[in-house]
A and B are shown apart, each in its own frame.
Chain A
Amino acid sequence: MAPAVESKVAGVGHFPKEGDFVNRALVALAAMLTALAVCIPGAFARVDSRSGSVATPGVTKTSITIGGTFPLSGPASLYAPIPRGMEAYFNWVNNRKGPDGKTGVYGRKIVWKYYDDGYNPAQTVQLTNKLVLEDKIFADVGSLGTEHNQAIRPMLNQRKIPQILVATGASYWGLQYKQFPWTIGWQPDYIAEGRAYGVWITRNAPNAKIAVFYQNDDYGKDYLRGLNIGLGAKKSLIVSEQSYEATDTSYASQIARQKASGADTWVLLSIPTPTVRALATAKALNWKPNTIVINSVAAIDSVMKAAATNAGPQYVNGAISSGYLKNNDAPKYQNDPIVVRYKKLLAQYGPQGADPNNTFYFYGFAKAYDVVKLLYLAGKNPTRQSLIKATLRMNWVNPYMIKGIKVKTGKSDHFPISQIKLVRYENGVFTEFGSLIKGR
Chain B
Amino acid sequence: MPLAFAWSDFAQQVTSGLAAGAIYASLALALVLIYQTTNVVNFAQGEMATFTTFIAWMFMDRGLPYWPAFALTLLIAFAGGVGVERVLIRPIEHRPEIVIVIMTIGLLIALNGLTGWIWGPEVKAFDSPFPNSSVIVGGVAISVRDIGTFCVCLGVVVLLWLFFRFTTLGLAMRAVAFNPDASRLMGVRVGWMLALGWGFAAVLGAIAGMMAAPTIFLDPDMMIVVLIYAFAAAVLGGIDSPVGAVVGGLLLGVVINLLGAYVNFVGNELRLPTALAVLLLVLVIRPTGLFGRRVVRRV
Q: Does A touch B (CB under 8 Å) in the complex?
A: yes
User: Contact: A250 with B125, CB < 8 Å?
Assistant: no
A252/B19 contact (C-beta < 8 A), A78-B120, A273-B217 known = yes
- By a CB distance below 8 angstroms, the chain A residues around B228 are 247
Query: For residue B8, which residue of chain A has the nearest CB?
Result: A260
- By a CB distance below 8 angstroms, the chain B residues around A285 are 12, 16, 134, 141, 143
User: Contact: A277 with B143, CB < 8 Å?
Assistant: no
User: Contact: A277 with B217, CB < 8 Å?
Assistant: yes
Chain-A contact segment, one of B77-85, B184-192, B197-205, B218-226: B218-226
Q: B13 interface residue, CB < 8 Å from A?
A: yes
User: Contact: B216 with A250, CB < 8 Å?
Assistant: yes
Which listed residue (A242, A247, A254, A303) contacts B272, Cβ 8 A?
A247
Shortest beta-carbon distance, B154 to chain A, in Å?
A: 17
CA distance A253 to B260 in the complex (A): 8
Mask, A244-285, CB within 8 Å of B = 1, is 111111101110110111000000000011001100110111
CA distance A254 to B20 in the complex (A): 13
User: Contact: B1 with A261, CB < 8 Å?
Assistant: yes
- By a CB distance below 8 angstroms, the chain A residues around B9 are 256-257, 260
A240/B260 contact (C-beta < 8 A), A256-B9, A309-B125 known = no
CA distance A216 to B271 in the complex (A): 13
Q: B229 interface residue, CB < 8 Å from A?
A: yes
Q: A286 interface residue, CB < 8 Å from B?
A: yes
User: Contact: B268 with A216, CB < 8 Å?
Assistant: yes
- By a CB distance below 8 angstroms, the chain B residues around A283 are 132-133
Which listed residue (A75, A253, A272) contacts B116, Cβ 8 A?
A75
Q: How many A-B residue pairs have CB under 8 A?
A: 137
Query: For residue A211, which residue of chain B has the nearest CB?
Result: B1
User: Contact: B269 with A76, CB < 8 Å?
Assistant: no
Which listed residue (B3, B136, B144) contacts A261, Cβ 8 A?
B3
User: Contact: B225 with A249, CB < 8 Å?
Assistant: yes
User: Contact: B132 with A240, CB < 8 Å?
Assistant: no
Mask, B245-281, CB within 8 Å of A = 1, is 0000000010011001100000111011000000000
Total count of chain A residues near the partner, CB < 8 A = 47
- By a CB distance below 8 angstroms, the chain B residues around A303 are 123
Q: A319 interface residue, CB < 8 Å from B?
A: no
User: Contact: A244 with B123, CB < 8 Å?
Assistant: no
Q: A357 interface residue, CB < 8 Å from B?
A: no
CA distance A305 to B123 in the complex (A): 10
Which listed residue (B16, B132, B226, B229) contacts A252, Cβ 8 A?
B16
Query: For residue B117, which residue of chain A has the nearest CB?
Result: A73
- By a CB distance below 8 angstroms, the chain B residues around A240 are 1
A249/B226 contact (C-beta < 8 A), A280-B215, A286-B141 known = yes
Task: Count chain A CB atoms within 10 A of each CB in B125, B226, B257 and give the residue with the most.
Answer: B125
Task: Count chain A CB atoms within 10 A of each CB in B216, B257, B272 and give the residue with the most.
Answer: B216
Task: Count chain B CB atoms within 10 A of each CB in A246, A306, A311 and give the residue with the most.
Answer: A306
Q: B145 interface residue, CB < 8 Å from A?
A: yes
A to B CB contacts below 8 Å, 14 in the list: A75-B116, A76-B121, A249-B226, A250-B19, A250-B216, A252-B17, A253-B256, A256-B16, A257-B3, A273-B123, A277-B217, A283-B133, A285-B134, A306-B123
Which residues of B come within 8 Å of A, CB atoms?
A: 1, 3, 6, 9, 12-13, 16-17, 19-20, 23, 116, 120-125, 132-134, 136, 141, 143-146, 212, 214-217, 219-221, 225-226, 228-229, 253, 256-257, 260-261, 267-269, 271-272
Which residues of A come within 8 Å of B, CB atoms?
A: 73-78, 216, 240-250, 252-254, 256-257, 259-261, 272-273, 276-277, 280-281, 283-287, 300, 302-303, 305-307, 309-312
